[in-house]
């Protein structure tokens, strides 16, 4: 069995500061870490799919490292639109799989799975892009692991969500990406963050799933004139589990203490 846990959009702030001046995102990440540490059997790896911090500042990354010190599981990080590549690189200089220059694309083998982290961030912008070089890199990585199950992790999900104020900042021109993964049948799924909600769709036969934030959740408003809003809905993480070579089963697990356990049925 191979298991990868996913958290996303943790938006860590400097010590004593609140996310959007309203929410203690640092405390909420600490709660998420406690929940991840309690998962049994323990996941093989935790991936954080972007927006580690809110303003890309070194003090925020120092706080991320301090908080992640409580995580008892191996973890990897990748950037989102709120991250600064250079400051992220500096903060995680002891993570040798992070490239020393350019986009933060990398791969990791986790049990039977080749995890391919694809950097969709655009410096100083909030939307996502993948250029020809990015797609050529991805194609080469997929060619190199045809004997393994491949999972692509990215910050910006490669689909239109239907929430208008989210889609302004989505992944632009996702069709070449969709065509590329369609040519690689060993891609099991695509996992993403960015949207602060759980969403599921497909690109051809490939499932695409987004992970909620550990902080606020974006309001589900699909009207054309919808105004941006968030709610303090329960935060959550995801567990992607591969058993006996079959496609993954992806579980959504809410973070917090809830009444129970109650008798089944």
The count of domains in the chain is: 1
Confidence of residue 8 (pLDDT cuts 50, 70, 90): very high
**263 within some domain:** no
Read off the pTM. 0.97
Confidence of residue 264 (pLDDT cuts 50, 70, 90): confident
Q: What is the pLDDT of residues 194-219, one digit of tens each?
A: 999 999 999 999 999 999 999 999 99
Owning domain of residue 236:
2-254
Confidence of residue 265 (pLDDT cuts 50, 70, 90): low
What's the CA gap between 227 and 232, in Å, rounded?
17
**29 within some domain:** yes
Query: CB-based burial of residue 221 (10 Å sphere; 0-12 exposed, 13-18 middle, 19+ buried)?
Result: middle
**18 within some domain:** yes
Q: Is the dihedral of CA 61, 8, 13, 235 positive or negative?
A: negative
CATH of the domain at 93: 3.60.21.10
**261 within some domain:** no
Confidence of residue 245 (pLDDT cuts 50, 70, 90): confident
What's the CA gap between 7 and 48, in Å, rounded?
5
Confidence of residue 62 (pLDDT cuts 50, 70, 90): very high
């Amino acid at each position: 069995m191979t298991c990868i846990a996913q958290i996303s959009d943790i938006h860590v702030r400097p010590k004593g500061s609140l996310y959007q001046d309203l929410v203690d995102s640092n405390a909420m990440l600490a709660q998420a870490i406690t929940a991840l540490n309690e998962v049994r059997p323990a996941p093989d790896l935790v991936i954080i799919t972007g927006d580690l911090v809110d303003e890309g500042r070194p003090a925020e990354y120092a706080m991320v490292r301090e908080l992640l010190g409580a995580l008892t599981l191996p973890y990897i990080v990748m950037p989102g639109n709120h991250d600064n590549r250079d400051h992220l690189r500096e903060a995680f200089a002891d993570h040798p799989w992070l490239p020393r220059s350019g986009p933060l694309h990398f791969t990791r083998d986790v049990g039977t799975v080749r995890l391919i982290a694809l950097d969709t961030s655009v410096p100083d912008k909030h939307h996502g892009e993948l250029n020809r070089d990015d797609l050529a890199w991805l194609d080469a990585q997929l060619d190199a692991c045809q004997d393994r199950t491949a999972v692509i992790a990215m910050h910006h999900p490669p689909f239109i969500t239907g929430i208008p104020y989210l889609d302004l900042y989505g992944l632009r021109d996702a069709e070449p990406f969709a065509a590329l993964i369609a040519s690689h049948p060993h891609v099991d799924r695509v996992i993403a963050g960015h949207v602060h909600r759980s969403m599921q769709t497909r690109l051809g036969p490939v499932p695409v799933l987004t992970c909620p934030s550990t902080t606020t959740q974006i309001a589900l408003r699909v009207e054309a004139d919808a105004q941006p809003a968030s709610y303090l809905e329960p935060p959550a993480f995801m567990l992607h589990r591969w058993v006996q070579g079959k496609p993954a089963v992806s579980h959504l697990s809410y973070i917090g203490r809830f009444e129970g356990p109650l008798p089944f049925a």
